[in-house]
A and B are shown apart, each in its own frame.
Chain A
Amino acid sequence: MDKNELLNNEKELLKWVKEELIFKRLNLSELELTVDDVGDETLLFQKEGLDLDSVDGLELGVGIEQKFGLKVGKFKEDTARTKFASARSIREYILELHLAKSKENKPARPQ
């Protein structure tokens, strides 16, 4: 599914975040996890969740930039842990970035 379809379909976007961005991009199968281990609300960076680390956080940011051409921009480790707390929060973050970008690109209204 291309990026515009995903950005206009919240359900598919969440699925993409879980399956492609989190599970495949972070090679979670190597940790003997299955795609079902990544739930909508599974805590990505918490011990009781997937216990991901900051390198994974960086990888998530790079993945979002690559897929959607959105500028995640420079961020701190703590930011990754909050913005990317779960698949659902990643989806919200992507939509937030997308909204900010579309506002920016809107031509100024003629006077």
Chain B
Amino acid sequence: MKFDLDVIKTILKHREPFLFIDSIEDISDNAIEASLKISENETFFKGHFPGDPVIPGVLLIEAMAQTAGFLIAYNLTKENGTQPGSVEYDFFLLKVNSVRFKDKIIPPAILRIKAKVSPSLMENFYEASGQIYVDDEPKAMGNLLVYIRTKK
């Protein structure tokens, strides 16, 4: 199943300039693939680095977290039988484990962000593993612990 930016915005509360997925290419119960277009005109390239644009690694972590977050919140929406957008969720990134950046990503680029998610032992805590590919080349990978709950 595919989703566009409008649907993403009903599930995630992240917004530009800090929304780092712009379409969902595939989604199943425990896996998801999102995509993000990065142009040379992104604001952060003004400083990272002048005349030598490289996507900051920290934003790649954020993109993996948002991709995993979408899947978890989407599943919660489905489980609760609610309409996308009718429930707001809180998203917390709690832990980042063994993240690797294999190669720098230079714009323009289309990122494919994959994530697998499993519930942890504790309620509302989820473990996610993510990978980012550009042209089928792995560029970044890591494991995250996230906390997602219905906004009170």
Contact = CB atoms under 8 A, between A and B. Distances in A.
Interface of A: 54-55, 57-58, 61-62, 65, 72-77, 80
Contact of B145 (A55, A57, A65): A55
B95 interface: yes
Contacts of A58: 120-122, 125, 145
Contacts of A72: 121
Nearest to A62: B121
B121 A74 contact: yes
Interface residues of B, number: 11
A77 B121 contact: no
Interface string B94-108: 110000000000000
A31 to B, nearest CB: 15
A37 to B, nearest CB: 23
| B interface secondary structure, majority | strand
B95 A74 contact: no
A75 B95 contact: no
A102 to B, nearest CB: 22
Contacts of B147: 54
B123 A75 contact: yes
Contacts of B120: 58, 62
A75 B94 CA distance: 18
B84 interface: no
A77 B125 CA distance: 10
Given A55-B94, A55-B95, A76 B123 contact: yes
A74 B123 contact: yes
Contacts of B121: 58, 61-62, 65, 72-75
A72 B123 CA distance: 12
B119 interface: yes
7 contacts: A54-B147, A58-B121, A58-B125, A61-B121, A75-B121, A75-B122, A75-B123
A52 to B, nearest CB: 13
Contacts of A80: 122
Contact of A77 (B95, B123, B145): B123
A81 to B, nearest CB: 11
The 10 closest A-B pairs by CB, nearest first: A58-B122, A61-B121, A76-B123, A55-B94, A58-B125, A72-B121, A58-B120, A75-B122, A55-B95, A58-B121
Given A55-B94, A55-B95, A58-B125, A74 B119 contact: yes
Interface string B120-131: 111111000000
